[in-house]
Structure 1
Amino acid sequence: MNLTISDTSVFNRLRIILVDTSHPGNIGAVARAMKTMGFSDLRLVNPRFDDALTHPDAIAFASGAQDILASAKVVDKIEDALVDCHFVAAVSARLREFSPPVIAPREFADKVVNTTTQPVALVFGSERYGLPNEIVMNSNVLINVPANPVYSSLNLAQAVQILAYECRMSVLANPLYSAPTSEIGFQGEMASLDQIDRMYQHLEEALVKMDFLDPQNPKKLMPRLKRLFSRAQLEVEEVNIIRGISKRILDFTKK
């Protein structure tokens, strides 16, 4: 689904920051995860490889999201990556004795989508060591993904995907957001109650004619059919198809 993006939209305000990333492939996979959810602001802090954004593994794992890599910025210090950010969330599977408030991804998403219009940063640590305590303690919140406690290790791109997905879903759930009409699949006009009622009458007449429905002992056939069709949210063309089938049955039984 395409979204109309304003200047204050979370899609323009959310910055993904990767600290001390070891594998260029993970950086490419993060770019892909971001693009699939509509985000584009990527910053790298002191990556292991100087060519982290142009490394063949990064390009390969980006899989069509090379534009995210091309626009990404590389800095030496976390402070440079956080410039202009008003709210910082550290992401870690490891809880700390002294840390900011711990929240879940969905709570974070609802907060940044519905309660602020300022730039926000999501900070992810290295694949092996996670985030330094100093970065965590200087953040506003610590995000912990409620994964399997026996094995809570997430790939870097998976963690980014979860947070980006939650933010996107929070936008879609916002009652102030009006989604554009989807261009995927056929979008028909919903049938009116009168059109559906006349379809039922036509169908019932056809079923009686073909001896499938006994009008003296109808049992619950028509109520069950109505229950079945009500779940389908019938469109005008679909109602017309059912009425066309009913007409052919009636025509056939006249012969």
Structure 2
Amino acid sequence: MNMPQTPTSVFQRLRFVLVETSRAGNIGAAARAMKTMGFGELVLVNPRFPDMTRDAEAIAFASGALDVLEGARTVSSMAEALEGCNFAAAVSARLREFSPPVWTPREFAGHVAGQGELSAALIFGNERFGLPNQIVEQCNVLINIPANPDYSSLNLAQALQVLAYECRVADGAVAPASNIGFHGDAASLEQIEGMFAHLEQALVQIDFLDANNPKKLMPRLKRLFSRTQLETEEVNILRGIARQIIKAAK
């Protein structure tokens, strides 16, 4: 589902920059990862071959994100790639002795989403060599994706997808799971208490509950149902079941 985007939305303020990319397929896969998260601005700095966005492999890996792929700009310098940006983040699995502050993807996403005046760039290096120190040192932060220390290798599109997802979440474009699907009216306390009385009567009727020695069965059932946040229709269903139990037991 397309989310509404405001002028200060992170979707409008975040640019993805790929530096000296070797494989056309990785450019296509990066475009696909961007589009699935709602982003569209892609810049290529000195890719290995000219016209890599038109390569058959790039088109195949883009898989429906041709608009992002075809809209990508190819430039010859980082200065061109970052023109108009006032915040830049280098993405690297390799930490440097001298580098800007190291942030997680979530820290970066929260910062950029919360600062409406920032026009930010996420910079990804070559598949084999990563980013040169010179570029990293020019950035405001270095982003390191927490991963298995014994095997922390992510390919280009995977790394980009992680960052794009975190930024989408931070912008508030992900609806909580509790807001998805059908939701009925919450049952009132009076309705729930009536249901418990009806259920207790049914359990007594089938000798599951001893009315003279109830112990803690009903309090435990109440505790169980209190975790479900019962809706009116659900209470009616349970009362219907209790009604049929009573009828069958007579």
Q: Secondary structure at the match of 1:53?
A: helix
Letter in 2 for 1:143: I
Identity percentage of aligned residues: 64
Letter in 1 for 2:181: G
Question: Which of residues 185, 198, 209 in structure 2 aligns to 1:213?
Answer: 209
| TM-score, with length taken from structure 2 | 0.91
Letter in 2 for 1:238: E
Following superposition, which runs of at least 4 residues in structure 1 exceed 6 angstroms of deviation? 180-183
Q: Secondary structure at the match of 1:150?
A: coil
**Is the 1:3–1:179 contact (alpha carbons within 8 Å) kept by the matching residues of 2?**
no
Could you say which residue in structure 2 is the equivalent of 1:194?
Answer: 190
Could you say which residue in structure 2 is the equivalent of 1:88?
Answer: 88
**Is the 2:8–2:116 contact (alpha carbons within 8 Å) kept by the matching residues of 1?**
no
Letter in 1 for 2:212: Q
- What CA distance in whole angstroms lies between the structure 1 residues aligned with 2:206 and 2:232? 25
| TM-score, with length taken from structure 1 | 0.90
Could you say which residue in structure 1 is the equivalent of 2:102?
Answer: 102
- What CA distance in whole angstroms lies between the structure 1 residues aligned with 2:84 and 2:161? 23
- What CA distance in whole angstroms lies between the structure 2 residues aligned with 1:117 and 1:202? 59
- What CA distance in whole angstroms lies between the structure 2 residues aligned with 1:178 and 1:190? 24
- Once the two structures are superposed, the pairs formed by residues 102-181 of structure 1 within 5 Å of their partners are 102-172=102-172
Could you say which residue in structure 2 is the equivalent of 1:14?
Answer: 14
- What CA distance in whole angstroms lies between the structure 2 residues aligned with 1:31 and 1:97? 32
**Compared with structure 1, are the counterparts of its residues 181 and 144 closer, same or farther at alpha carbon in structure 2 (3 Å cutoff)?**
closer
- What CA distance in whole angstroms lies between the structure 1 residues aligned with 2:72 and 2:122? 15
**Is the 1:46–1:75 contact (alpha carbons within 8 Å) kept by the matching residues of 2?**
yes
**Is the 2:18–2:123 contact (alpha carbons within 8 Å) kept by the matching residues of 1?**
yes
**Compared with structure 1, are the counterparts of its residues 80 and 183 closer, same or farther at alpha carbon in structure 2 (3 Å cutoff)?**
same
In the TM superposition, residue 4 of structure 1 has moved relative to its aligned partner by: 2.6
Question: Which of residues 214, 218, 235 in structure 2 aligns to 1:222?
Answer: 218
Residue 227 (structure 2) pairs with residue 251 (structure 1)? no
Letter in 2 for 1:127: E
- What CA distance in whole angstroms lies between the structure 1 residues aligned with 2:106 and 2:179? 28
Unaligned runs of 5+ in 1: none
- What CA distance in whole angstroms lies between the structure 2 residues aligned with 1:228 and 1:182? 19
Unaligned runs of 5+ in 2: none
- Once the two structures are superposed, the pairs formed by residues 54-73 of structure 1 within 5 Å of their partners are 54-73=54-73
**Compared with structure 1, are the counterparts of its residues 53 and 115 closer, same or farther at alpha carbon in structure 2 (3 Å cutoff)?**
same
**Is the 1:90–1:123 contact (alpha carbons within 8 Å) kept by the matching residues of 2?**
yes
Q: Number of aligned pairs? A: 250
In the TM superposition, residue 2 of structure 1 has moved relative to its aligned partner by: 5.0
**Compared with structure 1, are the counterparts of its residues 100 and 182 closer, same or farther at alpha carbon in structure 2 (3 Å cutoff)?**
same
More deviation in 12-21 or 92-101?
92-101
**Is the 2:17–2:44 contact (alpha carbons within 8 Å) kept by the matching residues of 1?**
yes
